[in-house]
């Protein structure tokens, strides 16, 4: 969430990613999707604040509701974890409410496979736009990203990378996109410009690729790009 020229606010939990090393060694790295995205934004020299877990229900919804009608651009990454979602129907209902207050949604192929298993991933992403967002960003791992609008879709191919691990790549992509957007003082009113969204997604793919080149969801600093 960010206003034009303001601080990017990232909400959600901080976790630890456990990464297998050589032999039986395990290494713990600070992680979790929101934390990784916030750290990426900070390393890309953009102002960011981190709002960690508030409650098990509606507190983040209350933040979004309060921001509705302001000039804040709301971006949602559902980061679905089916194995811990006890009531998928209730989860989907809550997500629809959030999306009604959202300008941009970022989903992975795994997310849409859970949310809408009977549709092609691009069509499933486009279906999410009916609830409110004007743009969807569908991440596809090594195959890059598809920028999806109501009437078009554009594939963004990632740069080559020597992959060490892929932990946090999607989060780095989200942080890279928001950083690029904030650096140019853009807001929700710029989302209809497809060329601008594609340019931001291209930069975000570079950030994600560089993150994959080292272990433990460690995003690049701005000077490294």
Q: What is the pLDDT of residue 45?
A: 94
Architecture of domain 2-224: 3-Layer(aba) Sandwich (3.40)
Q: What is the pLDDT of residue 53?
A: 58
Q: What is the pLDDT of residue 132?
A: 93
Q: What is the pLDDT of residue 60?
A: 74
In angstroms, the CA 215 to CA 101 distance is 35
List, for the chain, all residue ranges whose pLDDT scores fall below the cut of 50.
54-55
CA angle 184, 171, 123 (to 5 degrees): 90
Q: What is the pLDDT of residue 175?
A: 96
In angstroms, the CA 188 to CA 101 distance is 12
């Amino acid at each position: 969430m960010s206003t034009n020229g303001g601080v990017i606010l990232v909400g959600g939990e901080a976790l630890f990613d456990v990464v297998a090393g050589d032999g039986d060694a395990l290494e713990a790295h600070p992680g979790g999707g929101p934390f990784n995205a916030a750290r990426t934004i900070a390393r890309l020299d953009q102002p960011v604040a981190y709002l960690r877990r508030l409650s098990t229900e509606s507190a983040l919804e209350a933040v979004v509701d309060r921001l509705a009608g302001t000039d804040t651009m709301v971006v949602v990454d559902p980061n679905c974890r089916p194995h811990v979602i006890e009531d998928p129907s209730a989860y989907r209902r809550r997500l629809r409410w959030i999306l009604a207050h959202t300008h941009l949604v970022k989903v992975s192929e795994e997310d849409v496979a859970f949310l809408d298993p009977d549709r092609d991933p691009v069509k499933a992403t486009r279906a999410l736009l009916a609830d409110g967002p004007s743009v969807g960003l569908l991440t596809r791992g090594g195959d890059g990203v598809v920028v999806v609008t109501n009437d078009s879709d554009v594939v963004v191919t990632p740069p080559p990378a020597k992959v060490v691990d892929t932990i946090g790549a999607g989060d780095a992509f989200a942080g890279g996109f928001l950083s690029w957007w904030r650096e140019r003082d853009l807001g929700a009113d710029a989302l209809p410009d497809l060329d601008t969204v594609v340019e931001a997604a291209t930069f975000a793919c570079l950030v994600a690729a560089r993150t994959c080149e080292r272990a433990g969801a460690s995003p690049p600093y701005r000077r490294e790009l």
